[in-house]
Structures are given as C-alpha cells and as structure tokens.
C-alpha cells in the first residue's frame, strides 16, 4: 500500500476483540473513521461482513485489513500485534464485487439490498418452497421444489454455498454459483455455475401456502413474491491480505479439505 496511511480501527464487541483493540491503540496511531483512508477490523467473518455493509450503506468505501479474533476468519488475516505498519504496506488487495438483491413482497413492498457472500431464498414453514427460476429472461426451471436456493459470489462460495454442496469458485473467475438447498424436484439438479453478468429471477409460485424469505448475507425480507439477483459493479470492495496468506490461496486450499 502506497501513500500516507490514515488508519481507523474498529472491533467487534467480543472480549477478545476488545482486548486486542486496546493493545493496538497503545502501540499504533489511529484516526477517526471519517478521516481514514483504510480500516483495520478486529473480529470474525460476521463482523467483517457487518463492516463492509456499513460502508455500502454510507457509500464511503475504504480498503479493509481484517485480523481474526472470531471463529473461522476466512475473510481475515492472522491476529498479530507486531509489525502492523509493515504488514499493511505489503498487503495484497483483492476486489470483491457484491451481489444486489431486488425483492418484491407479497404485500407490494420493494427492497434493494447488497450481498457480499450470497443471496438465499428459504422456506418459512414446514412446507417446501416452489420456485420458478429464470436466467437472463429464459425460464430454466419452471417448478423447483426445495427447502431453498442461493446465489453465491466467489468470496462467498466457501460459506453457506459450500455447506449446501455448491462449487468453490476461484476469486477473479467471473462466475457465480446457483445452488439448491435440499432439492426435492427435480431430484437430479445440483445447481449451475453462471457468468457473473447473469441476471437471475426467482418467482415464488405459491407464496401464501408456501411462504419464502430472501436473505442477503444477514438481512432478511419475509413473504417474498419475486427476487432478482445480479452483480452490482458500481460498488466494488477491497480486502487487504498478507501476501503469504491471500484469499485466492484460501479458496484453492478449501477444495482439498476432506
């Protein structure tokens, strides 16, 4: 990273993250968030997503160097107090392009919400969901009966998508994963890999008897009628990683974990 570094420091409310925050503030200089040109974030993947979404809402997008004080920390670097200046100067930037979910509810409300990992449609009751799936205006699945379905970015392909037996996508592949969750019909359909410029439209076929919710990362809209999902190129995000432990290396390594 070149130029003058004006770092802000943010931390999740967990005891471990707060303790690490105190140690960093005692050892390094930080500026208020509104004066910063980069952010150091302490926590886990959930806190990183929360921080990224806060930037998307404010439209003030800054590079983020995360350090893991959570559980998995897939989007984070290793926590270390030492050599923060050198680590940030040599950090490798990765662009992450979020999805945007546009939702129409049964009651006629409309919501537009970004998603960094995935957009998921999930049944709300014990009744399975019934969905029509269109890709770029063409109906590819006229009646998908399932517990749900999701669209994942490469950065999110190792999260919920992987748990649902979806494919791992290399960063920079220009692809998204369309993955069913417990499909009942058609039984043999296991999902699709699509170009990232694809527009996917889900229509809920029986929204009263079989209600469906739509979730963009951690934000949920209930009782949806239609959900359109596509890449939002207007707001790319930048994550900073140590050169020896980068996001594309992690994504590749996940493919060999039993």
Catalytic residue among 45, 85, 223, 242: 45
- pLDDT confidence of residue 94: 87
Is 104 considered catalytic here? no
Same domain, 106 and 175: yes
28 is in which domain, residue-wise? 7-97+236-254
189 in a domain, yes or no? yes
Handedness of CA 39, 234, 193, 120 (dihedral sign): positive
- pLDDT confidence of residue 235: 80
Q: Is position 3 annotated in a ligand binding site? A: no
Same domain, 80 and 120: no
- Looking at every residue in the chain, the average pLDDT score rounds to 92
Same domain, 160 and 209: yes
Hey, what long-range contacts does 170-174 have (CB within 8 A, 24 or more apart)?
Answer: 170/248, 170/251, 170/252, 171/94, 171/247, 171/248, 171/251, 172/248
Residues of the chain where predicted confidence (pLDDT) is lower than 70: 1-3, 246-247, 252, 255-258
Q: Is position 197 annotated in a ligand binding site? A: no
Task: Name the domain count of the chain.
Answer: 2
Cα distance between residue 56 and residue 72, in whole Å: 23
Q: Is position 163 annotated in a ligand binding site? A: yes
Q: Going by DSSP bridges, is the β-strand pair 138-152/175-185 parallel, antiparallel, or unpaired? A: antiparallel
Q: What is the CATH number for 141?
A: 2.60.200.30
Same domain, 187 and 224: yes
Cα distance between residue 158 and residue 255, in whole Å: 9
214 in a domain, yes or no? yes
- pLDDT confidence of residue 3: 56
Helix (H) or strand (E) holding 248: helix 247-254
- pLDDT confidence of residue 244: 82
46 in a domain, yes or no? yes
1 in a domain, yes or no? no
DSSP string, 95-115: EEPPEEEEEEETTS-EEEEEE
């Amino acid at each position: 990273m070149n130029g003058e570094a004006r770092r802000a420091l943010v931390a999740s409310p967990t005891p471990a993250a707060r303790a690490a925050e105190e140690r960093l503030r005692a050892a390094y200089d930080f500026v208020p968030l509104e004066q910063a040109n980069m952010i150091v974030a302490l926590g886990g993947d959930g806190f990183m997503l929360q921080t990224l979404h806060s930037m998307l809402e404010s439209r003030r997008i800054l590079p983020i160097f995360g350090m893991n004080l959570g559980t998995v920390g897939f989007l984070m670097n290793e926590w270390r107090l030492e050599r923060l200046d050198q680590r940030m100067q040599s950090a490798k930037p990765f662009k992450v392009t979020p999805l945007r979910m546009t939702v129409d509810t049964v009651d006629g409300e409309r919501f537009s919400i970004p998603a960094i990992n995935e957009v998921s449609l999930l049944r709300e009751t014990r009744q399975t969901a019934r969905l029509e799936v269109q890709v770029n205006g063409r109906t590819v699945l006229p009646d998908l009966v399932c517990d749900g379905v999701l669209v994942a970015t490469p950065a999110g392909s190792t999260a919920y998508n992987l748990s649902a037996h979806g494919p791992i996508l290399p960063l920079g592949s220009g692809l998204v994963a369309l993955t069913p969750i417990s499909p009942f019909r058609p039984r043999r359909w296991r999902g699709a890999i699509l170009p990232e410029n694809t527009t996917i439209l889900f229509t809920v076929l029986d929204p009263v008897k079989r209600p469906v919710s739509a979730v963009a990362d951690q934000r949920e809209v209930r009782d949806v009628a239609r959900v359109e999902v596509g890449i939002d190129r207007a707001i790319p995000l930048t994550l900073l990683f140590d050169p020896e432990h980068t996001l594309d290396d992690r994504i590749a390594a996940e493919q060999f974990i039993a």
